[in-house]
Amino acid sequence: MRWWVQLIAFLTLPVCIHGQIAINKLNFSFDYNNLRVSNFVNSSERTQYAGQFEYVISNMFSAELYGVRDLDGYSPYRNAMLGDGVKGLNPMYKWSDKNCMLYGGVRMYPYEQWRSVDPEIRYKDAKGFYFAFGYGGEWYTRRNYHFEVHQRTLVDSLGIPQTVIDSSFVHYNTYHIFQRGVQFGFGYKLFQSKLMYTDIGLYSNAYMRDNRTVRGYYVKDSDGGTYYTPEEWEYVLDVIEDWAKNGRGFWVRMSVGINLDIRK
């Protein structure tokens, strides 16, 4: 059975046992940002979505699911040798690289560090300092284009050299990196009101190279050119697997969420 099927089964186990979900057991958060990322190479527009779901099992334990979708915002997996991002070539392409993360696990709130003076939220479970342990995966996709130009130099009647382009070809390539592994972290969750809470956590985001899978393909210009042979492309994928980063190391998560329980 695949690991993500086991994860979904684990997170839905409390629902299957009780047959229904108490509304005060659910917490949701969503984050969206659209930033312009500038560096010494180029500037790009970064769009990121993040969502979190937490199901309270008891006053001490909860199960959580967290996902991130990041477009054109994470550069360590890029390789300039394979070409430039296809987004800059054709406006039909909305992004050149996409990085998605999915994490599922359990939180433990060892003791209550904070108690509100407001009786409306004093009863809330699963709050304060917590430890987290679970399993996560990261999917990265990069789309490039490679511009191949054949030119020669001619000398005109005045003896001035002129560059003449004989032919040009546009090739495309795409590669995918998938990594997975055990993750852990800690954080602090605080209810500001009976509906709203803030959550900040620091989670590990490092993977073993043995848990990395790299796949890819290339599309050669139909008009010709001397792009990769199948053997050369396999070597390129091996190189990608060698230099690909093992993750961020640590992942800081900050979110403002809602609790659907409005009872007093």
Residue 153's identity, in one-letter code, is T
Return the pLDDT at 5: 46
What's the mean pLDDT in 102-122? 76
Return the pLDDT at 110: 85
- pLDDT(82) > 80: yes
Number of H helices, E strands in the chain: 2, 10
Return the pLDDT at 102: 94
What does the mean pLDDT of the chain come to? 79
The candidate with the shortest Cα–Cα distance to 123, out of 59, 54, 199, is: 59
Instruction: Answer whether 124's CB lies under 8 Å from 259's CB.
Output: yes
Q: pLDDT tens-digit profile of 124-151?
A: 778 889 999 999 999 999 999 988 887 6
What percent of the chain clears pLDDT 70, i.e. is strictly above it?
Answer: 75
Return the pLDDT at 44: 55
Spell out the alpha helix ranges (H) of the chain: 3-18, 230-243
pTM: 0.76
Q: Is there a domain that residue 264 lies in?
A: no
Return the pLDDT at 90: 78
pLDDT band at 120 (very low <50, low <70, confident <90, very high): low
What percent of the chain clears pLDDT 90, i.e. is strictly above it?
Answer: 27
Q: Is there a domain that residue 16 lies in?
A: yes
What's the mean pLDDT in 25-29? 81
Q: Is there a domain that residue 190 lies in?
A: yes
Main-chain dihedrals φ then ψ at residue 150, nearest 5 degrees: -115, 125
Main-chain dihedrals φ then ψ at residue 16, nearest 5 degrees: -65, -35
Q: pLDDT tens-digit profile of 200-223?
A: 999 998 888 889 999 999 999 888
Instruction: Answer whether 37's CB lies under 8 Å from 85's CB.
Output: no
- pLDDT(47) > 90: no
Return the pLDDT at 14: 43
Q: Is there a domain that residue 48 lies in?
A: yes
Which of the residue ranges 16-20, 168-172, 203-207 would you say has the lowest mean pLDDT? 16-20
pLDDT band at 10 (very low <50, low <70, confident <90, very high): very low
Higher pLDDT, 26 or 66: 66
- pLDDT(54) > 80: yes
d(CA 48, CA 69): 6
Domain count, the chain: 1
What DSSP element (H or E) covers 259?
A: strand 249-259
Q: Is there a domain that residue 143 lies in?
A: yes
Give me the DSSP letters along 142-179: EEEEEEEEEEEEEE-TTS-EEEEEEEEEEEEEEEEEEE
Which of 10-24, 29-43, 194-208 is predicted most confidently? Answer: 194-208
- pLDDT(107) > 90: yes
Return the CA Rg of the chain: 25
Return the pLDDT at 35: 60
pLDDT band at 15 (very low <50, low <70, confident <90, very high): very low
C-alpha separations of 92 from 35, 88, 116, 160 in Å: 20, 10, 52, 41
The residues, ordered by sequence, that sit 6+ positions from 22 with a Cβ below 8 Å of its Cβ are: none
pLDDT band at 247 (very low <50, low <70, confident <90, very high): confident
Could you tell me the residue range of the domain that residue 62 belongs to? 3-259
Q: Is there a domain that residue 89 lies in?
A: yes
